[in-house]
A = this chain, B = another copy of it.
Amino acid sequence: MLIVKKFGGTSVANKERIFNVAKRIVEDYKKGNEVVVVLSAMGKQTDILLDMVKDINPKASKREIDMLLTTGEQTSVALMAMALDALGVPAISLNAFQVAMHTTSTYGNSRLKRIDTERILNELENKRVVVVTGFQGVNKLDDYTTLGRGGSDTTAVALAAALHADACEIYTDVDGVYTGDPRLVNNARKLKEITYDEMLEMASLGAGVLHNRSVEMAKKYSVPLVVRSSLNNSEGTMVKEEIKMEKMLVSGVASDANAARISVIGLEDQPGVAFKLFHHLARHDVNVDIILQSIGRDGTKDISFTVNKDDLEEAVATLERHRQGSLKCQKIDVERNVAKVSIVGAGMMSNAGIAAKMFEALYDVGVNIKMISTSEIRVTVLIDDEHLNKAINAVHDKFFTSRL
């Protein structure tokens, strides 16, 4: 078997943890597997380097920031190769130049385009464990680039795809994907399997186990993903195309407390109004989530939508700037204390009763629904954030407790 194993920064934060990870790698190697390891920078190293940037030049170019950040993973792969060697297993570390990992030109948030596999395959042939820097690539100028948030996951999945690996194991500080965030949902339990699409919805809803881009890539190349804990040996969650177990209508409950609602009230009821509104926001990189349009009074209409709390000020400022120009409206309302609760499940598209069951759960605990948005495999509601905890537990238990 060819296995790609990815470990995050906390898993390699110090000598003890490096050796813990090394021992897991040795186990797989000793069973006769070919092992490729993808690592992030140690512990808080990336943050430390970013603090140096702030100190030297807060407006530093992304090109130079990437040049600096890529030292982080190079440090961890070299140390891991040394640790494996100390345990008697031949290993070699490779950075993005040595692999090579070709990306788009963008610094700070580039995309992987192509991975050369020759060097890795040669090293595997020579019975070595290959330890590869995650998060980083090289663009056509021969400059370092980085892949942005969750970049090491993407590196691992892309390597697994390029090498036609038999498994791609993502090690995190949780031991799999849960029916709900265990920190919030009391009765959350671990899923044995989940589909790529469900995982995508979960990730975008703040479940945060895997970054969306890595899941998208896994789906595209049918990479068999496993999410496991680096702290224990429990089995983790398989992410794949179709799940074979008894078909579950709902796979999980996700929540996002980092939402805010903006209502633009009294817009002229003309073609192009919605276009203008969201065009202005897009130009300022404000991502908009749930959108709801309703008919207002006196031939006007109202548009409400949610944004990330971090983008709220930018969004409102943008709208206010255009209010006297192309965007005529009576009022811009902001609601900061809201949260999203979602249910996700590949099975729900053929079952109309799912959404109603969710709304019933919320009604049972007296939570008012402010907005509703649905996709084929997801139902999301917006509620007051003070009710978040009560709401997700109620929704979760409605779908899962009976089967616990």
Q: Which residues of B contact A68 (CB under 8 A)?
A: 74-75, 78-79, 82
**Provided the pairs A75-B71, A97-B97 are in contact, do residues A64 and B52 lie with their beta carbons within 8 angstroms?**
no
Q: Which residues of B contact A165 (CB under 8 A)?
A: none
Kindly specify which of A53-61, A233-241, A245-253, A355-363 makes contact with the partner chain: A53-61
Could you tell me how many residues of chain A have their Cβ less than 8 Å away from some Cβ of chain B? Answer: 36
B71 touches A57 (CB 8 A): no
Q: Which residues of B contact A97 (CB under 8 A)?
A: 97, 142
Q: Which residues of B contact A63 (CB under 8 A)?
A: 92
**Provided the pairs A71-B75, A86-B56 are in contact, do residues A81 and B64 lie with their beta carbons within 8 angstroms?**
yes
B64 touches A82 (CB 8 A): yes
Q: Which residues of B contact A93 (CB under 8 A)?
A: 64, 67
**Provided the pairs A67-B93, A75-B68 are in contact, do residues A15 and B61 lie with their beta carbons within 8 angstroms?**
no
B52 touches A67 (CB 8 A): no
Task: Give 24 CB contacts A-B under 8 Å.
Answer: A53-B82, A57-B83, A57-B85, A57-B86, A59-B85, A60-B85, A60-B86, A61-B82, A63-B92, A64-B81, A64-B82, A65-B82, A67-B74, A67-B78, A67-B95, A68-B74, A68-B75, A68-B79, A68-B82, A71-B71, A71-B74, A71-B75, A97-B97, A119-B142
List of 5 A-B pairs having minimum Cβ-Cβ separation, nearest first: A68-B78, A57-B86, A71-B71, A57-B82, A60-B82
